[in-house]
Structure 1
Amino acid sequence: MLVGRAQTGDAVRWVCAHEDGMRPIEDPFAAFAEGREPVIIDERVEGRLLAPCEPVVLVGIAQNGPAHPSPVQAWLKSPRTVVASGETVSLRSDAGAVVAEGEIAVVIGRPTEGLTAANAHEYVLGVTAVNDLSSPERVVMDPRNFESKSGAGYTPLGPWIDTEAGLDSIPLVVAVDAETVATTDARELPVSIRDCLAYVAGWTPLDAGDVVMTGAPHSQAPVVPGRTASVAVGRVVLTTPFI
């Protein structure tokens, strides 16, 4: 199931993608806690898709690129940088070049106490697409990634959470202005998604709605104002125009 959040009139509702449009559903995290898919509760609705969740903790995975000499590590990014698919992002002009980093984002479904690499799928609601926008020139003076990744809107996320996607093999495609610049897969990550989740959960508690961005395996592209980037993670396609 593809689940997300939509602004419908004055209300924000959980919805799923249906053949006739968006259908309201019950809280998918409550359903996940009971070990089942959320139930469709109403007929088709009109609305604007929002970011598919509101993470309290937003984790990035570092050193998960090809042949990186350091072991996998994690860092924190402000959840206030999260924006919806289709929302225009203003690129900072004071931080050097900007790079779109297409990544597979994992949405946690329940508290992660007891999570291991072997059982990680039991704690995951689903996966979505994320564009971990970065200003890499700032890393020279800011190795902790605070300046390079903290711009307003620098974490486009969504628009859907795919609750049926696995963790071991997920296609990832990045395009700029409809021209494909990267095609890869979760299998190309030197450290698997399962191992990344186990590493993060081993050091800090995560809970329903938190997000782990799993790294950019050959999936980066420079962007400038006037361009539009897209990140496709399986069935989920995220688009972000830049000014």
Structure 2
Amino acid sequence: MKYVRFRKDDEVYFGVLKGDSITQLDGDYIKGETRPLSTEFALGEVEVLTPVVPGQVIGIGLNYELHAKETGKPIPEEPMMFMASPSAIVAHETDIELPSIDHRIDYEAELVIVIGEEAKNLKKDEALSYIFGYTVGNDVSDRDLQKKDGQFTRAKSFGTFKPLGPVIETELDPNNVPIQLKLNGEVKQKSNTNDLIHDIAELVVKVTEVMTLMPGDVIYTGTPSGVGPLSPRDVVEAEVDGIGILRNRVK
């Protein structure tokens, strides 16, 4: 099922997307059970928002073997975690703003986990049951600041650096799904999550060993090889089969 959060006439709604039609729900799907209402909206008549407003944004670095190799870094024995500011989250069709055209600022297509229940110290056989669903992310990163700082927070937390959406899909095999990214219509990244070094359940387990995850928190699960720089006026499209295309323009 595809869940979508959207705005119509200055009001924010939650709904289920089927084709190009949205059936409104009576509340926030992240906060608990919801029921469909009789109200329907055409997708083209609404503004699609981020499908969730996370309290915490966790990222995983170097989680595809070929990406680790292209950076010249060793494959992590455990998931390499970092945090980014929730204020960096923006929606499908929102502009990405580059704070400096002199810095190398890269795109990174990613499958994103959306947490559905409070989670702490989970075991691997139960981890997937704490996930509400999955969406698409673009982990935009300032490489100059990443290298300068020796850690990721500043490089990945600028406003608009974490596009997310357009929907949350609840029926997906997260460990075997194609992922790709197009830049101005040209495929730059193309892989499958079956190439993840640390699979989805393991990521949730390792994160919850460190911190408590709450409903709506998100985990960016890592990017395949083929990362590259963004430039003004670029159009970048991250896609995960079964979820959809997250499209953003570079301002």
Q: TM-score, normalised by structure 2?
A: 0.89
Structure 2: how far apart are the matches of 1:16 and 1:182? 29
Q: CA deviation at 1:30?
A: 4.2
Secondary structure of the residue aligned to 1:60 is strand
Residue 151 of structure 2 corresponds to which residue in structure 1?
144
Structure 2: how far apart are the matches of 1:54 and 1:144? 25
Is the 8 Å Cα contact of residues 91 and 164 (structure 2) preserved in structure 1? yes
Structure 2: how far apart are the matches of 1:156 and 1:218? 19
**Mapped pair 1:41 → 2:37:** yes
Structure 2: how far apart are the matches of 1:116 and 1:95? 45
Decide which moves more: 115-124 or 49-58: 115-124
Q: CA separation of 1:20/1:98 partners in 2, compared to 1, >3 Å: closer, same or farther?
A: closer
Q: CA separation of 1:20/1:128 partners in 2, compared to 1, >3 Å: closer, same or farther?
A: closer
Residue 60 of structure 1 corresponds to which residue in structure 2?
59
Structure 2: how far apart are the matches of 1:172 and 1:92? 27
Q: After the TM superposition, which residues 84-163 of structure 1 pair with which residues of structure 2 at under 5 Å, given as runs? A: 84-93=91-100, 96-113=103-120, 115-163=122-170
Structure 1: how far apart are the matches of 2:13 and 2:139? 26
Counterpart AA for 1:204: M
Is the 8 Å Cα contact of residues 189 and 224 (structure 2) preserved in structure 1? no
Structure 1: how far apart are the matches of 2:250 and 2:54? 23
Q: CA deviation at 1:31?
A: 4.3
Identity of aligned residues (%): 25
Q: CA deviation at 1:86?
A: 0.3
Counterpart AA for 1:120: A
Q: CA separation of 1:14/1:224 partners in 2, compared to 1, >3 Å: closer, same or farther?
A: same
Q: Structure 2 stretches of 5 or more lacking a match?
A: 69-73
Decide which moves more: 11-20 or 104-113: 11-20
Computed over aligned residues only, the root mean square deviation of the Cα atoms, in angstroms, reads 1.7
**Mapped pair 1:15 → 2:15:** yes
Is the 8 Å Cα contact of residues 102 and 174 (structure 1) preserved in structure 2? yes
Secondary structure of the residue aligned to 2:39 is coil
Q: CA deviation at 1:117?
A: 2.1
Residue 35 of structure 1 corresponds to which residue in structure 2?
none
Q: Structure 1 stretches of 5 or more lacking a match?
A: 33-37
Secondary structure of the residue aligned to 1:120 is helix
Counterpart AA for 1:42: S
Q: TM-score, normalised by structure 1?
A: 0.92
**Mapped pair 1:242 → 2:243:** no
Alignment partner of 2:189 out of 182, 204, 221: 182
Structure 1: how far apart are the matches of 2:153 and 2:120? 28
Residue 195 of structure 1 corresponds to which residue in structure 2?
202
Q: CA deviation at 1:20?
A: 4.9
